[in-house]
């Protein structure tokens, strides 16, 4: 089964900022996007700009998705794991409740945008937090610092992206 799939990365430090609206819209028009996934670290997306662009993307029949932030830690996971193994201490963890509390305002606002404009929310906590947010498994670490996924960690998101390709 052959698919005509292209990937365009809008390389910025936020999923959406006020100065990106026109660039993303122009790219969507000129490259005939069918889907756009917005994703960034927690709290870095300008949600007002996202609200501004969504109706315009709807007019272009572009399906929009918001990949919720991955759980973030205020310390380097590899360094902390090494220190804890050396000292016999257990690694600090966060729960899905902690994640939801830390990201409450962003999740609430994106839910409002979903109801208003139909942006689909891609749920990262259900992948990483069951109910404790995992930082590794028997095959390796999910993070190379406190908030960026390793290749192994990003592979945990494969089911999310596979579902997008099917729809």
3 state DSSP class of 131: coil
For 74-100, write each residue's pLDDT tens digit.
Answer: 999 999 999 888 888 888 899 999 999
For 93-151, write each residue's pLDDT tens digit.
Answer: 999 999 999 999 999 999 999 999 999 999 999 999 999 999 999 999 999 999 999 99
| Amino acid 8: pLDDT | 66
For 7-64, write each residue's pLDDT tens digit.
Answer: 666 656 666 777 889 989 999 999 999 999 998 888 888 899 999 999 999 999 999 9
Which is more confidently placed, 167 or 88? 88
CB-neighbour burial class of residue 150 (10 A; exposed 0-12, middle 13-18, buried 19+): middle
Contact 27, 50 (CB under 8 A): no
| Amino acid 5: pLDDT | 65
| Amino acid 1: pLDDT | 43
| Amino acid 162: pLDDT | 87
Of 131, 105, 122, 125, nearest to 47 by C-alpha is 105
- Please name the helix (run of DSSP H) or strand (run of DSSP E) that holds residue 58, with its range, or none: helix 47-59
Give the Cα separation of 64 and 33 in Å (integer). 10
| Amino acid 149: pLDDT | 95
| Amino acid 56: pLDDT | 97
């Amino acid at each position: 089964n052959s698919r005509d799939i292209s990937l365009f990365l809008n390389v910025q430090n936020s999923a959406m900022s006020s100065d990106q609206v026109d660039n993303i819209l122009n790219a969507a028009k000129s490259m005939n996007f069918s889907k756009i996934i917005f994703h960034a670290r927690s709290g870095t997306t300008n949600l007002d700009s996202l609200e501004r662009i969504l109706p315009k993307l709807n007019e272009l029949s572009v399906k929009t998705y918001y990949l919720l932030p991955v759980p973030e830690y205020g310390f380097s996971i590899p360094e902390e794991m090494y220190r804890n193994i050396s000292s016999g201490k257990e690694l600090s963890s966060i729960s899905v409740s902690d994640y939801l509390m830390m990201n409450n305002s962003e999740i609430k606002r994106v839910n409002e945008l979903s109801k208003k404009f139909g942006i689909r929310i891609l749920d990262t906590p259900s992948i990483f937090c069951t109910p404790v947010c995992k930082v590794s498994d028997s095959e390796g670490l999910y993070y190379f610092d406190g908030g960026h996924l390793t290749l192994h960690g990003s592979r945990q998101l494969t089911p999310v992206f596979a579902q997008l390709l099917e729809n």
